[in-house]
Chains A and B, each alone.
Chain A
């Protein structure tokens, strides 16, 4: 039992030191950039921390985090079986456009409209990811390259879909898909003067629980993780690797399809030129930072949203909000590097400990042997 406890402490140490080292590195390097550009290396952080205490900024952060959370879950489910769904970006945008168009053209009562839109978005995302999945299992095309191509194709397809002569509506200089019927608006949580938290954020949190349950408590989740850990071992135990790849891609795409909905159903009610565009790539950072665990991803999503929303104030105070983008890029690199470094370090520690234990055991053996010899 004591052995078990020790092991867990070791794991906790290793688990925590990765992100901590990464964040520290990012703060130090960002401060170097600030000093190098002749700015205070401390004040931007204090401004950003102060921002996080304002309730309206908190609402913005939570809303943003909800979208990032969904995108990161989509990326993470692929990561768990060594699949790189770089295409979350295209999947969520296409799904949002299609849901927006359906929401504007179809008017069902609220109890049917919202599930309809959710299903449409999930199917669209799953279909777009499924193209890459099918190409991978039938033709052996790398999902990385396929999803990168599909991202760009999605951009063109979206550009086509919201042309005024197709499904679009021109509003001033902005191209939109027309306002969705009110029955499809997702009710928010009113926070008074601070604004409104998207109701969809709750669904995102529930999906986090579902993600944990499916991965850790179901046969499918076990097969998925087994395939990720060792494809040949999983195949030997009867897992159909191809089917797993396709299923994982479809699930990942379906989750990705939801990533745009908090904003679409909760706020804009239309897809326009100003719809945010890089949530899928942020999802990759967040999934890496959160180590594919639903709780870790939640913290990571809040962190990245905080960087993004709190940095807006920097522009008004004589700093540049782009510093947050730099910080995010550094975090991404620092996270993966520090995880790898910590893993190697942990492995060495373990080897050394096992080595010491073996040496002690060996020493005991030989001394016993000597005693035996002496006793003769």
Chain B
């Protein structure tokens, strides 16, 4: 997990990675174990067994996949210096193309076409932002509008009149099938149902990772370390990232910046398209208008949450997928139980900050913890709307508490003209 780097205290004034401290693997494992133990404690106190259920975790994973793929798409583009707000549009293109090819020629062809559809959106974004140097955000917004219009228009011709299809919905697509690790899955499920402290929760988490997996889920999960390996361990990745950090310097070393930016943004679109295909082939066996429901934006949020790193992104996607799954399953009582978890985490944060002599932050955390605890004690459930808003609120909070610690690629969103350094 050397991918997740966290800045230390000092670096507000120190731009270079000098003041950074790596969040090493053992530390990260301890943190994860600690959060799991706390969750387990909360589960025992509140009797909300749903929060670490196998099927809960399995749903969470399924919801995290499109978010993670969109986030990976954002990561590829932004690492090469192109901001991609058009992820939502590329996701939409992926859902439509995936279902369109999927219902005619089978789900795997659908996946391929989903990738192509998203990549086409990426190509357009690249032409507008890299060749014409138009503001990246404007281009992204326009692509989101265009993708919506194109898919709605095309649905009128392609899906209406076909059996099972309407102007808003495609005919059903065959399933890619699911994989359940035999034996292990059942064993973990039984363990999970014992409701023991910690053991059952870990069993639930692992059980979710081996039960009813779609092959596409495995691909998506594998893409995270793969992206890290390509971008941080190959010369191709080094060149690509150099375009996002300092294109002029990259150019002076003979890197074809335009080519790398194009490649990065097309790959970015392809990844978002794959996420879209996942939505319209695996998550639902059909395309439905409005199916993406802002997942592209959550993907972007997950990427920022993860500090433009694949590991952090995966963590963010997992977290957001989990909050989404709470809404679908078990609903408001589970979220209510999690209020207690948040309160406990805030207490720890308060102690931590006071120990580090940051008294103002400590008091803020303590007050927030008290507020959460009071909220937990005085109510029985929370409105579902709060659950829906959770990923966005978390992202805003993360940004506002650690905007100075996050480090986006240095030339992200900047225009670049060939030979501008001369």
Contact assessment for B385 and A159 in the assembled complex, using a CB-CB cutoff below 8 Å: yes
| B153 near A160: Cβ-Cβ < 8 Å | no
Contact B156–A149 (Cβ < 8 Å): no
In the complex, chain B residues 146-170 whose Cβ is within 8 Å of any chain A Cβ: 146-150, 152-153, 156-157
Chain B contact surface mostly: helix
Residues of chain A at interface, number, CB under 8 A: 42
Known contacts: A139-B399, A140-B403, A157-B385. The answer to whether A332 contacts B145 by CB under 8 A is: yes
Asked whether B389 is an interface residue with its Cβ less than 8 Å from the other chain, the reply is yes
**Beta-carbon contact of A139 and B400 below 8 Å:** yes
CB distance from B103 to the nearest CB of A (A): 19
Q: Which of B24-32, B39-47, B49-57, B127-135 contacts A (4 or more CB under 8 A)?
A: B127-135
Closest CB of chain B to A373's CB: distance in Å?
A: 38
A84 to B83, CA, bound (A): 13
User: Could you tell me if A329 and B149 are in contact, using CB atoms closer than 8 angstroms?
Assistant: yes
Is A156 an interface position by the 8 A CB rule? yes
**Contact at A336–B152, with CB atoms within 8 Å?**
no
Do residues A336 and B156 form an inter-chain contact, with CB atoms below 8 A? no
Q: Which of A140, A148, A336 contacts B138 (CB 8 A)?
A: A336
Known: A157-B385, A285-B145, A336-B135. A322 touches B153 (CB 8 A): yes
Determine if A153 and B392 form an interchain contact, defined as CB atoms under 8 angstroms apart: yes
Which residue of B is nearest A160, CB measured? B385
Query: Does chain B have a CB within 8 A of A28?
Result: no
**Across-interface contacts of A329 in B (CB, < 8 A):** 142-143, 145-150
Q: Are B399 and A160 in contact (CB under 8 A)?
A: no
Report B252-305 residues with CB < 8 Å from chain A CB: 294, 297, 300-301, 304
How many residues on the B side are at the interface (Cβ–Cβ under 8 A)?
44
- Which of B132, B145, B401 is within 8 Å of A325, CB to CB? B145
**Chain B positions within 8 Å of A360 at CB level:** none
Q: Which residues 105-151 of A sit at the B interface, judged by CB distance below 8 A? A: 135, 139-141, 144-146, 148-150
Cβ 8 A contact of B388, one of A146, A156, A336, A337 = A156
Q: Are A153 and B393 in contact (CB under 8 A)?
A: yes
- Contact A135–B145 (Cβ < 8 Å): no
Cross-chain contact of A333 among B142, B148, B301 (Cβ < 8 A): B142
B141 on the interface (CB 8 Å rule)?
yes
Is the C-beta of A281 less than 8 angstroms from some C-beta in chain B? yes
Asked whether A336 lies within 8 Å of B128 as measured between CB atoms, the reply is: yes
A157 contacts B389, C-beta separation under 8 Å: yes
Q: Are B385 and A145 in contact (CB under 8 A)?
A: no
- Cα distance A340–B138 when bound, in Å? 12
Instruction: State the total of A-B contacts with C-beta under 8 angstroms.
Output: 131
Chain A CB within 8 A of B396 CB: yes
**Closest beta carbon of chain B to A109's beta carbon, Å:** 35
A146-B399, A160-B385, A284-B141 given as contacts; is B132 within 8 A of A341 (CB)? Answer: yes
Q: CB-defined interface of A142-183 with B at 8 Å, one 1/0 digit per residue?
A: 001110111011011101100100000000000000000000
- Give the residues in chain B near A326, CB-CB below 8 Å: 146, 149-150, 153
> How many whole Å from B154's CB to the nearest CB in chain A?
8
| B153, A320: Cβ atoms closer than 8 Å | yes
B348 to chain A, nearest CB (A): 22
In the assembled complex, how far is the CB of residue B109 from the closest CB belonging to chain A, in whole angstroms?
A: 22
- Asked if B6 is at the interface (CB within 8 A of a chain A CB), the reply is no
Is the CB–CB distance between B400 and A141 below 8 Å?
A: yes
Output the least CB separation between B352 and chain A (Å).
20
Which positions 393-412 of chain B face chain A at CB distance < 8 Å?
Answer: 393, 395-396, 399-401, 403-404
Q: A274 near B: Cβ within 8 Å?
A: no
Which A residues fall within an 8 A CB radius of B? 33, 37, 84, 86, 135, 139-141, 144-146, 148-150, 152-153, 155-157, 159-160, 163, 281, 284-285, 288, 320, 322-330, 332-333, 336-337, 340-341
| B interface, CB within 8 angstroms of A | 83, 85, 124, 128, 132-135, 137-139, 141-150, 152-153, 156-157, 294, 297, 300-301, 304, 383, 385-386, 388-389, 392-393, 395-396, 399-401, 403-404
The contact sample of 8 A-B pairs, CB cut-off 8 A, is A139-B399, A140-B403, A144-B137, A148-B85, A152-B294, A155-B388, A332-B146, A341-B132
